[in-house]
A and B are shown apart, each in its own frame.
Chain A
């Protein structure tokens, strides 16, 4: 089980979701992926994508300019 980061800054939805989808396809069950975005829409879209594809959202954080979502590949 490994931890990975994905830089999806300066991309507008749904591109952060597509990047997350493509990166997750390369990972193994139990890996974690931290996705860093600047589009606040990602705060809804990536958890929604996780729910319908069976991945678990471990954490969501919001700073002034970024939203950071950590998911567990399931």
Chain B
């Protein structure tokens, strides 16, 4: 008896990849999932940071999907390799700093490599023609096929009937008649199929699963690159862009001001790497200073921090400034009036 054919499914944690994998499992194919961690995934860390989000269930949706499907999931750290995709996308950016087409090509290419290394036969994605403006346009789906090197071993079960038959269909590993012909942005067919399969409580992030599609986040990343005079980043940089108010009074530095207790706790993990300011005469936010600063800059920063403290209406707030070498200095400052904090300083 022949052993069953094996497929590796790209599992994002969203509904489409869940349904695509389930359709192929239904056909007796052995499926394992693969999930890529870029550092920009909305999945995961944000729920660990903000205290106000504590009531939301803390689950990784890719793991949840795999558990619903009863399949193994391999989570792959691609943080380093992904930097080149973000900083130098061959096919350009979408509405913000989202290199969706390059990202899809890269992930399918990594899945192809994994497939070859592990003796699997084909790749499944949850792509649907016309669902996303950049990476799932009908004219661009063949680009993913070609540039990833997956060729006709890439099967998109949710919209396969709108595409030419792939190797798994031609060879009879899967029955094309049981695949689907979804297209466009309408989500109702997916929701109906989820109901049919008994999937409830699946993730449906409104803005997708990547911070790079978020306008506010993309502005902060663009600001970081402008300040560095270079498109580059480290993991800590992109983590910190998710936290706090970012205020840049001058090109040479910005402040990262925590907004609540959860962010205070998260930023405290970075205290040793930055000059930081805390209020001592009243409650206030932990603030990191990112950049090279003068004494005058530190005074301005201290007055801004005081503005966001519980002493914002006082004549004087005491702040403690701690330098990276551990030297501490305590000073009294006049909180900066909100009218002096220019709107354009907010990143």
Contacts and interface: CB of A to CB of B under 8 A. Distances in A.
Q: Do A and B bind?
A: yes
Interface of A: 10, 12-15, 17-18, 21, 38-41, 43-45, 48-49, 51-53
A10 B265 CA distance: 11
Contacts of B70: 52
A13 B72 contact: no
A40 to B, nearest CB: 6
A17 B66 CA distance: 14
Interface in B66-119: 66-67, 70-77
Interface in B45-80: 45, 47-49, 57-60, 62-64, 66-67, 70-77
Contacts of A51: 67
B73 A12 contact: no
A42 B59 CA distance: 9
B60 A41 contact: yes
B215 interface: no
A45 B59 contact: yes
Interface of B: 35, 37, 41, 43-45, 47-49, 57-60, 62-64, 66-67, 70-77, 239, 269
Contacts of B44: 12-14, 41, 45
Contacts of B48: 12-13, 39-41
B67 A52 contact: yes
18 contacts: A13-B44, A13-B45, A14-B44, A14-B62, A14-B63, A14-B75, A17-B63, A17-B75, A18-B37, A18-B75, A21-B74, A44-B59, A44-B60, A48-B64, A48-B67, A52-B71, A52-B73, A53-B72
Nearest to B35: A14
Contacts of B45: 12-13, 39, 41
A48 B57 CA distance: 13
Nearest to A9: B269
